[in-house]
């Protein structure tokens, strides 16, 4: 099969495709929310994730001040809010939750809110931060609480109903949803 070059500005999309999330923060009495797709699990024991956040984002400032954030995994019903949360800056509006049509709800363990109507939730406490390139910070965080909608997840994402499948970010404002789970057979024992 022939190959063609990919512009380095979009090369990250070759390994993207994981679920998109709302990253929510709280500093004092103010909350903020942003769309995020640059995240990955990095440890199972303790459970940890890494997120890359642009330094110009209000959420970045709030994470630096508090060391906390939440991740809420939306389904198809919140696709337009994901788009808007990625386009509108918290620096430009008083209440970004209201501006993009989202409702904040309390988590179980930490101060940052969760986004009502999502499929899954992680509450995260930052343990380390690293500058990543000229524009981003990579926050490594321990997951201290997690919740999920029962009909959406049972050890794996359930891929039945369209409404309970997570959105996956393909780049720009294009998303997908997984349609089928396939499993490899266990490796034969010798």
Q: Whole-angstrom distance between the N-terminal and C-terminal Cα of the chain?
A: 35
What's the confidence (pLDDT) of residue 82? 96
Q: Do 112 and 68 touch, CB atoms closer than 8 A?
A: yes
Q: pLDDT class for 16, splitting at 50, 70, 90? A: low
pLDDT tier for residue 6 given thresholds of 50, 70 and 90: confident
More confident residue, 1 or 104: 104
pTM of the predicted structure, to 2 decimals = 0.91
> Within a 10 A sphere around the Cβ of 127, how many other Cβ atoms?
13
Measure the CA–CA gap between 97 and 2, rounded to whole angstroms: 46
For 76, the token pair is 């198809």
Other CB atoms within 10 A of residue 66 CB: 17
pLDDT digits (tens, 9 = 90+) for 66-111: 999 999 999 999 999 999 999 999 999 999 999 999 999 999 999 9
Enter the DSSP assignment of 133: T
Which domains can be identified in the chain, with CATH numbers?
18-175 (2.30.110.10)
Contact 64, 1 (CB under 8 A): no
The single-letter DSSP state of residue 5 is: -
pLDDT reported for residue 103: 97
Among 78, 81, 94, 98, residue whose Cα is nearest residue 30: 94
């Amino acid at each position: 099969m022939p190959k063609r070059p990919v512009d380095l500005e979009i090369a990250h999309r070759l390994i993207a495709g994981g679920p998109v999330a709302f990253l929510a923060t709280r500093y004092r009495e103010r909350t903020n929310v942003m769309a995020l797709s640059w995240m990955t699990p990095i440890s199972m024991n303790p459970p940890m994730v890494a997120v890359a956040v642009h330094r110009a984002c209000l959420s970045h400032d709030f994470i630096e001040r508090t060391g906390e954030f939440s991740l809420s995994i939306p389904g198809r019903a919140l696709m337009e809010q994901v788009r808007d949360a990625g386009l509108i800056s918290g620096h430009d509006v008083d209440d970004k939750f209201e501006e993009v049509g989202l409702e904040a709800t309390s988590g179980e363990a930490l101060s940052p809110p969760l986004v009502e109507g999502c499929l899954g939730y992680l509450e995260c406490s930052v343990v380390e931060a690293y500058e990543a390139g000229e524009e981003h910070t990579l926050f490594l965080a321990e997951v201290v609480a997690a919740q999920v909608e029962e009909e959406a997840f049972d050890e794996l994402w359930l891929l039945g109903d369209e409404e309970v499948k997570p959105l996956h970010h393909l780049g720009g404002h294009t998303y997908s949803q997984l349609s089928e789970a396939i499993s490899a057979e266990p490796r034969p024992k010798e």
